Amino acid sequence: MKKSKWMLGAAAILALSVALAGCGGGDKKAEKKATGTKGELMVYTSIYPDIIDNMCKPNVAKAFPEMKVNWFQGGTEKVVTKITGEIKAKKIGADVLMVADPSYYLKLEDQKLLLPYKSKEEKNLINDKAADGAWYAVRVCNMIIAYNADKLKAEDAPKNWTDLADPKWKGKIAMPNPMLSGTAYVAVGALADKYGWEYFDKLKANGLRVEEGNSAIQNKLLTGEYAAVMILEENILKLANTKKEPLKVIYPKDGVVQVPSPIAIFNTTKNPEGAKALVDWWLSKEGQQAVVKGWMHSVRGDVKEPIGSVPTKGLTDGKIKVDWRKLADNNAKIKEEFRKRVMDK
């Protein structure tokens, strides 16, 4: 009888321990394997510094407690310039790249600098990716029109990209510099393809101002210096929802310029397993929820749009077509054409 009771007790304890292990309870070895990783990684990114500090760093540190992840931040063009120098020196400092312009990843593919990797999250993704897994869209940014509701009524605001050429906005419109901003470069290429370079001639004649970046534009929109601007949706959503600023997003009826910004691993990385684990995390539901908290859209169908936005599918369905290969192969030519038409006095 005593023996039977002992055996029953042992069986109960064994069953409980198995259940706990299945739920992730108490199995430190299994937990460490799930995070996958030790060592060190360097990420080059164009994500805004405050989003890196408040969203990227804490979430990544929590997901990978035994791996040191370092960050280098700059606008897309600043990061590209840094990488270009490192490629020439044959000393690439980044393990993982997260910049805005998808066309740049095509150039890196052409140079055979990326590490193909089939992510375990691939089946859950609804946005752009390389066929061999050399890169995956990890966040979706939208170039939109914005205005200040304290300075302008909704019915009077522009509804289409072409409305920015209306003389009533003369000297009161702005956009980021495509020489510095990857998303602005994509917008220039997309709008020039859709409406011809004459579109930018009209904007120039209407007093278009070119600012260093999105942040400078949002500040001058707040002061009323600008009435309507081309800007990233995330800038406006963040200010409207966290600081209650009176800035409003217009999703142009002729389509947003959507930029599915990728993540990729350099094939020179000394920590490929850590880099792959980081890619998997960013593409996971948890990682994508962190992306949305940074006011960007998810590349998964099971993660909702950021607060204050509209469903991602609606924006994707009506987006302006972008020729990524053309942007990759004609970078200097497109920028020079813009500079000549808009920035030269």
pLDDT mean over 235-261: 97
Dig out the tokens for 48 from the structure: 């805004």
What is the CATH classification number for the domain harbouring 93?
A: 3.40.190.10
pLDDT band at 20 (very low <50, low <70, confident <90, very high): very low
Q: Which domain holds residue 94?
A: 37-140+259-316
Residue 306 CB contacts under 8 Å (≥ 6 apart), including other chains: 234, 237, 292, 293, 295, 296, 297
What CA–CA distance (Å, rounded) separates 188 from 341? 12
In a domain, 15, yes or no: no
In a domain, 1, yes or no: no
| pLDDT tops 70 at residue 24 | no
| pLDDT tops 60 at residue 1 | no
In a domain, 161, yes or no: yes
Please indicate, yes or no, whether residues 264 and 180 belong to a single structural domain of this protein.
Answer: no
DSSP β-bridge partners for residue 137: 262
Please indicate, yes or no, whether residues 86 and 168 belong to a single structural domain of this protein.
Answer: no
| pLDDT tops 70 at residue 315 | yes
Alpha helices in 38-97 (DSSP H): 49-51, 57-63, 76-88
Please indicate, yes or no, whether residues 216 and 76 belong to a single structural domain of this protein.
Answer: no
Please indicate, yes or no, whether residues 311 and 218 belong to a single structural domain of this protein.
Answer: no
Please indicate, yes or no, whether residues 124 and 264 belong to a single structural domain of this protein.
Answer: yes
Please indicate, yes or no, whether residues 284 and 249 belong to a single structural domain of this protein.
Answer: no
Please indicate, yes or no, whether residues 226 and 335 belong to a single structural domain of this protein.
Answer: yes
In a domain, 42, yes or no: yes
User: String of b and e for 205-224 (b: at least 16 CB within 10 Å)?
Assistant: ebebbbbebbeebbebbbee
Please indicate, yes or no, whether residues 134 and 145 belong to a single structural domain of this protein.
Answer: no
In a domain, 196, yes or no: yes
DSSP β-bridge partners for residue 231: 144
Please indicate, yes or no, whether residues 338 and 206 belong to a single structural domain of this protein.
Answer: yes
pLDDT mean over 86-115: 97
Predicted confidence (pLDDT) per residue in 257-268, tens digit: 999 999 999 999
> What pairing do the DSSP bridges indicate for beta strands 209-211 and 68-73?
unpaired
Q: What does pTM read for this prediction?
A: 0.87
Contact by Cβ (8 Å): 177, 212: yes
| pLDDT tops 60 at residue 218 | yes
Q: What is the mean pLDDT of the chain?
A: 90
State how many domains the chain has. 2
In a domain, 57, yes or no: yes
Torsions phi, psi of 199, nearest 5?
Answer: -60, -45
| pLDDT tops 70 at residue 18 | no
Please indicate, yes or no, whether residues 122 and 42 belong to a single structural domain of this protein.
Answer: yes
Please indicate, yes or no, whether residues 231 and 330 belong to a single structural domain of this protein.
Answer: yes
Predicted confidence (pLDDT) per residue in 122-160, tens digit: 999 998 999 999 999 999 999 999 999 999 999 999 999
The DSSP symbol for 343 reads: I
What CA–CA distance (Å, rounded) separates 210 from 228? 13
Question: Which of 12-26, 87-101, 319-333 is predicted with the least confidence, judged by mean pLDDT?
Answer: 12-26
Residue 205 CB contacts under 8 Å (≥ 6 apart), including other chains: 165
Angle between helices 272-283 and 285-293 (to 10 degrees): 70
pLDDT mean over 76-81: 95
In a domain, 304, yes or no: yes
Please indicate, yes or no, whether residues 296 and 332 belong to a single structural domain of this protein.
Answer: no
pLDDT mean over 200-213: 97
pLDDT band at 36 (very low <50, low <70, confident <90, very high): low
In a domain, 153, yes or no: yes
Residue 128 CB contacts under 8 Å (≥ 6 apart), including other chains: 102, 136, 137, 260, 262
| pLDDT tops 50 at residue 23 | no
Per-residue confidence (pLDDT) for residue 37, from 0 to 100 = 82
Predicted confidence (pLDDT) per residue in 159-178, tens digit: 999 999 999 999 999 999 99
Contact by Cβ (8 Å): 294, 233: no
Bigger pLDDT: 109 vs 28: 109
